[in-house]
Amino acid sequence: MRHLPMRVPRVIGRRALGALTTALLTTGGLAVSAQAVPAAAPDPAPASSGHEQLALTPPMGFNNWNSTHCRDEFNESMVKGIADLFVERGLKDAGYEYVNLDDCWALPERDADGRLVPDPKRFPNGIEAVADYVHSKGLKFGIYTSAGTKTCSSIGFPGALGHEYSDARQFADWGVDYLKYDNCNNQGVDAKQRYTTMRDALAATGRPIVYSICEWGENKPWEWAGDLGQLWRTTGDINDSWGSMSSIMKSNLELAEYARPGGWNDPDMLEVGNGGMTDTEYRTHFSMWSIMAAPLLIGTDLRTAPESAFEILTNDEVIAVDQDPLGKQGEVVSSEGGRWVVSKELADGSRAVALFNEGSRAQRIETTAKAVGLPKSRGYTMRDLWKHSDTNTTGRIAATVPAHGTVLVRVHADRKWAQYPPAVDVHAGGDTVTEAGRTVRITSEATDLGGTAAHSVSVALTGPDGWRVTPRSATSARALKPGATLATDWDVVVPAGTSTGDRILTLTARHRTHSGSWLTSTAPFTVRVGVPLPAGESALSDADPLSATNGWGPVERDQSVGERGAGDGNPITIGGTTFAKGLGVHASSSVEYYLGGTCGKVTAQVGVDDESGDKGTVAFEVWADETRAASTGTLTNADPARAVSADVSGADIVRLVVTDAGDGSGYDHADWADLRVTCT
Ligand code: GLA
């Protein structure tokens, strides 16, 4: 298939199949045998055996799916290896408990008695032996099937629809402690009915089995699944990319009110360690899953995972936020300009507060103890859960957060606050857009946010190699009183010949604590270096962008986005017309070019690329600095190329944005065809 969507093609197959079989059923053309439709429960479900006691905090463990899908390395030795590492590497002590199998553990056919058969290549000793091994380590064991006639894999393993009671019995006999129950090939049978039948079947086994409802948020499970299981997926599948993780996070954040002990919103399993995101992004992933009280199911092969993944996954102070016994999901306090503040009430009366920067450049994020729900107090203790250090504040909670980063703190209104050194917030302002060879003036500020004085305060600013940074005023103060600021001017020379792009400078402030140690706060500061565009009219795709973000693979020059790799696109084609020049992008996308105030007009022919089949829906926007200079509204494959012309006179930067038009970014291959700029 030429037009890969954001999601794996397997999804297209099964959704299409689901729709087809539903249609056949409703038109009387029965696509499945009558037995495939769920049988009525054989007898009423007995009172559940401890169901109410399960998952009083969000389940923690491992599931192979995100790292292996159905590849061969998903097998007995992997599962045992993970259980071993849980014990050896301290994950069990950190709270990770369940070792779970996902799809593809079975043979495609049941045996003559209708029983599920483990794949003998993957699990030569059967499933029970693996469960026994996991149990022997003091861990618990989970398995997977679908509330449909087949599972989700395109190979199609047997699903439990119509076999709920016998399959549940088989799982219980194997020693299963956790069932993930998926949604594929569901024959259009009502979701609540399908998930209720399995709930009753699990209860009938008498074995306590955590029940994970995986219908991707299609039927608002947060409204009903709490009566059935302990967790319910709220979205489609995650993948190991910033776009996927952050959009799932935002959907799940809206559902805070539904989470409670024994019933959790599930934004899908962790990708930490799989390599598609930076460590900053993985720390955001882990921080935000924890503040959302999400299940923490490790989705990386720990046998080969980098050390940084272990460091993130075993941060016990972050895990404690997730596992807090009060069982509340963090709530959004504010989210302007990609600066998110999320606050989670904790059992000891403190609040976990996440300052999450969704933007692609560092931003300062600030809130207050009052805004995050803390009671009035003269001072607060604020613990940074990644730096593992305590400070005091009189109520301001602020940090400059790197692009895609999260600062996670735990704030108490306690009487001990004055024992800790004050929090010192550093940030800088000034010229951010410039050209090679120029000098920019930056002003930094280090402010004591605490109720006690900060002693021996000093600031430093460092640029990339070859950059000259000179302070033009004092860089130190013997002491800063509460609320006082040390302001410093800096001249920064951007070396001649520096290429287009963002460069990060680091501002550091340090001050001495009572015990004589030093406390450091840092703030990234972005300087955007542009190279002037040629005079006259030129193709923007011939220039280097200042920045580029894309929803699927990289932005491509003079070709469509194609697949996920670089340079794997096709000729840019909209409505049958081919264009030699332009940019191929995929929603959600943003590409910036430096104009330096010397250009007048940007023009393009825009539309959904023909390679997306007939499913793409996008909208184009052209921004001149902070002004929206042109926009198209929603365009689909049915639309021919649309001419766009934007007045960018005087602007330093033009930003070309493609949104998903509000319906998710699958199939959203979009083109800025014949993209041209006129400059003097
Ligand atoms: C669905 C689920 C995934 C995974 C796969 C297995 O897509 O949502 O989490 O279990 O099926 O095929």
Nearest residue to 494 (alpha-carbon basis) of 524, 529, 444, 470 = 529
Residue with CA nearest ligand 1 atom 8: 237
CATH class of segment(s) 536-679: mainly beta
Candidate from 237, 271, 297 with most ligand 1 atoms within 8 A of CB, to mutate: 237
pLDDT of 155 above 50 = yes
Q: According to CATH, where is 2.60.40.1180 located in the chain?
A: 332-419
Q: For residues 369 and 492, what is the distance between their CA atoms, to the nearest angstrom?
A: 36
Q: What's the confidence (pLDDT) of residue 614?
A: 87
Q: Which atom of ligand 1 is nearest to the CA of 11?
A: 7
Q: Residue 222 has what DSSP assignment?
A: G
With a 6 A CB cut-off, is 302 part of the ligand 1 pocket?
no
Cα angle, residue 162 at apex, residues 158 and 164 outer, rounded to 5°: 80
Q: According to CATH, where is 3.20.20.70 located in the chain?
A: 4-45+57-328
- pLDDT tens for 417-435 read 999 999 999 999 877 899 9
Residue with CA nearest ligand 1 atom 9: 237
Cis amide prior to 588 (ω within 30 degrees):
yes
pLDDT of 2 above 50 = no
Residue with CA nearest ligand 1 atom 5: 152
- pLDDT tens for 97-145 read 999 999 999 999 999 999 999 999 999 999 999 999 999 999 999 999 9
Q: How far is the CA of 182 from the centre of ligand 1 (A)?
A: 7
Q: How sure is the predictor about 665, in pLDDT bands with cuts at 50, 70 and 90?
A: confident
Q: According to CATH, where is 2.60.40.10 located in the chain?
A: 424-530
Q: What's the confidence (pLDDT) of residue 24?
A: 29
Q: How far is the CA of 302 from the centre of ligand 1 (A)?
A: 20
With a 6 A CB cut-off, is 297 part of the ligand 1 pocket?
no
Q: How sure is the predictor about 47, in pLDDT bands with cuts at 50, 70 and 90?
A: very low
Q: How far is the CA of 643 from the centre of ligand 1 (A)?
A: 41
Q: Which atom of ligand 1 is nearest to the CA of 151?
A: 12
Percent of the chain with pLDDT over 70: 92
Candidate from 152, 153, 185, 213 with most ligand 1 atoms within 8 A of CB, to mutate: 152
Q: How far is the CA of 237 from the centre of ligand 1 (A)?
A: 7
Q: How far is the CA of 578 from the centre of ligand 1 (A)?
A: 37
Q: Which atom of ligand 1 is nearest to the CA of 102?
A: 10
Least confident of 165-179, 344-358, 511-525: 511-525
Q: Which whole number is the average pLDDT over 389-393?
A: 97
Candidate from 66, 102, 146, 233 with most ligand 1 atoms within 8 A of CB, to mutate: 102
- pLDDT tens for 562-620 read 999 999 999 999 999 999 999 999 999 999 999 999 999 999 999 999 999 988 999 99
Q: What's the confidence (pLDDT) of residue 19?
A: 30
- pLDDT tens for 324-373 read 999 999 999 999 999 999 999 999 999 999 999 999 889 999 999 999 99
Q: How far is the CA of 487 from the centre of ligand 1 (A)?
A: 53
Q: Which atom of ligand 1 is nearest to the CA of 216?
A: 8
Q: What's the confidence (pLDDT) of residue 52?
A: 52
Q: What's the confidence (pLDDT) of residue 643?
A: 98
Q: For residues 362 and 428, what is the distance between their CA atoms, to the nearest angstrom?
A: 11
Q: How sure is the predictor about 403, in pLDDT bands with cuts at 50, 70 and 90?
A: very high
Residue with CA nearest ligand 1 atom 1: 152
Name the fold adopted by 332-419.
Answer: Immunoglobulin-like (2.60.40)
| DSSP SS3 for 530 | strand
With a 6 A CB cut-off, is 102 part of the ligand 1 pocket?
yes
Q: H-type helices in 292-367, by residue range?
A: 307-313, 316-322
Q: How far is the CA of 105 from the centre of ligand 1 (A)?
A: 13
- Kindly report the average pLDDT of the chain as a whole number: 92
Q: Which atom of ligand 1 is nearest to the CA of 233?
A: 8
SS3 per-residue string spanning 650-671: CCCEEEEEEECCCCCCCCCEEE
Q: What's the confidence (pLDDT) of residue 514?
A: 84
With a 6 A CB cut-off, is 152 part of the ligand 1 pocket?
yes
Nearest residue to 668 (alpha-carbon basis) of 612, 624, 614, 619 = 612
pLDDT of 12 above 80 = no
With a 6 A CB cut-off, is 182 part of the ligand 1 pocket?
yes
Q: How far is the CA of 304 from the centre of ligand 1 (A)?
A: 22
Nearest residue to 160 (alpha-carbon basis) of 135, 175, 143, 138 = 143
Q: For residues 51 and 43, what is the distance between their CA atoms, to the nearest angstrom?
A: 18
Cα–Cα distances (Å) from 616 to 3, 156, 310, 611, 665, in that order, read 10, 28, 39, 9, 8
Q: Which whole number is the average pLDDT over 453-469?
A: 97
Q: Which whole number is the average pLDDT over 156-182?
A: 98
Q: Which atom of ligand 1 is nearest to the CA of 214?
A: 8
Q: What's the confidence (pLDDT) of residue 666?
A: 87
Q: What's the confidence (pLDDT) of residue 7?
A: 32
Q: For residues 291 and 309, what is the distance between their CA atoms, to the nearest angstrom?
A: 19
pLDDT of 554 above 60 = yes
Residue with CA nearest ligand 1 atom 3: 237
Nearest residue to 521 (alpha-carbon basis) of 448, 417, 463 = 448
With a 6 A CB cut-off, is 266 part of the ligand 1 pocket?
no
CATH of 4-45+57-328, one of 3.40.47.40, 3.30.2290.10, 3.30.260.10, 3.20.20.70: 3.20.20.70
Q: What's the confidence (pLDDT) of residue 588?
A: 92
Question: What b/e sequence results for 52-64 when a residue is b if at least 16 CB atoms lie within 10 Å of its CB, and e otherwise?
Answer: eebbebbbbbbbb
Tokens describing residue 245 = 């993780």
Q: Which atom of ligand 1 is nearest to the CA of 237?
A: 8
With a 6 A CB cut-off, is 237 part of the ligand 1 pocket?
yes
Q: How far is the CA of 353 from the centre of ligand 1 (A)?
A: 31
With a 6 A CB cut-off, is 271 part of the ligand 1 pocket?
no
Q: How far is the CA of 71 from the centre of ligand 1 (A)?
A: 14
**Which residues are known to be catalytic?**
182, 237
Q: Are 102 and 65 in contact (CB under 8 A)?
A: yes
| DSSP SS3 for 94 | helix
What element of type H or E holds 197?
helix 191-205
Candidate from 67, 101, 182, 244 with most ligand 1 atoms within 8 A of CB, to mutate: 182
Residues in a beta bridge with 628: 623
With a 6 A CB cut-off, is 103 part of the ligand 1 pocket?
yes
CATH class of segment(s) 424-530: mainly beta
Q: How many residues does the chain have?
A: 680
Q: How sure is the predictor about 13, in pLDDT bands with cuts at 50, 70 and 90?
A: very low
Q: What's the confidence (pLDDT) of residue 50?
A: 45
With a 6 A CB cut-off, is 200 part of the ligand 1 pocket?
no
Strand pairing category for 331-334 and 439-448: unpaired
Distance between alpha carbon 203 and the CA centroid of its chain, in Å?
A: 34
Q: Which atom of ligand 1 is nearest to the CA of 268?
A: 9
Q: For residues 29 and 32, what is the distance between their CA atoms, to the nearest angstrom?
A: 9
Q: For residues 104 and 450, what is the distance between their CA atoms, to the nearest angstrom?
A: 55
